[in-house]
Amino acid sequence: MQTIYFDKKPRLVATGTIAGPKECAGVVGKYVDKTLTDDMFGESTYEKAECKMLTYAIRQAIRNAEAKEEDVDMLISGDLLNQIISASFAARDFDFPFLGVYGACSTLSEGIALAAALINAGYYKKIVAATGSHFSSAERQYRYPLELGNTRPPQSQWTVTGAGGFFIADMGGCNSRLAVDCATFGKVVDFGITDVNNMGAAMAPAAADTILAHLKETGRGADYYDLIVTGDLGALGSRILKDLTWEKGVEIGKKHVDCGEIVYNVIEDEFQGGSGAGCSALVFGSYLFDRLKKRELNRVLLCATGALLSTVSSGQGESIPCICHAVAIENV
Binding site for a copy of itself (CB under 8 A): 1-2, 4, 44-45, 47-48, 73-74, 78, 80-85, 88-89, 91-92, 94-104, 110, 114, 117-118, 120-121, 123-124, 141, 185-188, 190, 308-313, 316, 318, 321, 323
Q: Which residues contact 89 (CB under 8 A, 6 or more apart)?
A: 51
Neighbouring CB atoms inside 10 A of 279's CB total 36
Nearer to a copy of itself, 44 or 175 (CB): 44
CB of 182 to a copy of itself, least distance (A): 10
Determine contact, residues 126/101, Cβ cutoff 8 Å.
Answer: no
Nearer to a copy of itself, 148 or 312 (CB): 312
CB of 88 to a copy of itself, least distance (A): 4
Burial class (CB in 10 A: 0-12, 13-18, 19+), 284: buried
CB of 134 to a copy of itself, least distance (A): 12
Neighbouring CB atoms inside 10 A of 145's CB total 10
Say how far apart CA 51 and CA 28 lie, in whole Å: 20
Q: Which of 99, 255, 111, 117 is nearest to 181 (CA)?
A: 117
Say how far apart CA 269 and CA 285 lie, in whole Å: 24
Nearer to a copy of itself, 32 or 307 (CB): 307
CB of 162 to a copy of itself, least distance (A): 20
Say how far apart CA 177 and CA 200 lie, in whole Å: 33
Nearer to a copy of itself, 86 or 176 (CB): 86
Nearer to a copy of itself, 7 or 268 (CB): 7
Say how far apart CA 170 and CA 165 lie, in whole Å: 17
Nearer to a copy of itself, 114 or 327 (CB): 114
Nearer to a copy of itself, 32 or 244 (CB): 244
Residue 118: left if φ>0, alpha if ψ -120 to 50, beta else—which one? alpha
CB of 191 to a copy of itself, least distance (A): 11
CB of 190 to a copy of itself, least distance (A): 5
Coil, helix or strand at residue 131: strand
What is the distance, to the nearest Å, from the Cα of residue 121 to the centroid of all Cα atoms in its chain?
23
CB of 40 to a copy of itself, least distance (A): 13
CB of 185 to a copy of itself, least distance (A): 4
Say how far apart CA 153 and CA 150 lie, in whole Å: 9
CB of 296 to a copy of itself, least distance (A): 31
Q: Which of 133, 177, 143, 138 is nearest to 304 (CA)?
A: 133
Q: Kindly state the greatest CA–CA separation across the chain.
A: 53
Determine contact, residues 82/118, Cβ cutoff 8 Å.
Answer: no
Nearer to a copy of itself, 96 or 224 (CB): 96
Nearer to a copy of itself, 91 or 297 (CB): 91
Coil, helix or strand at residue 65: coil
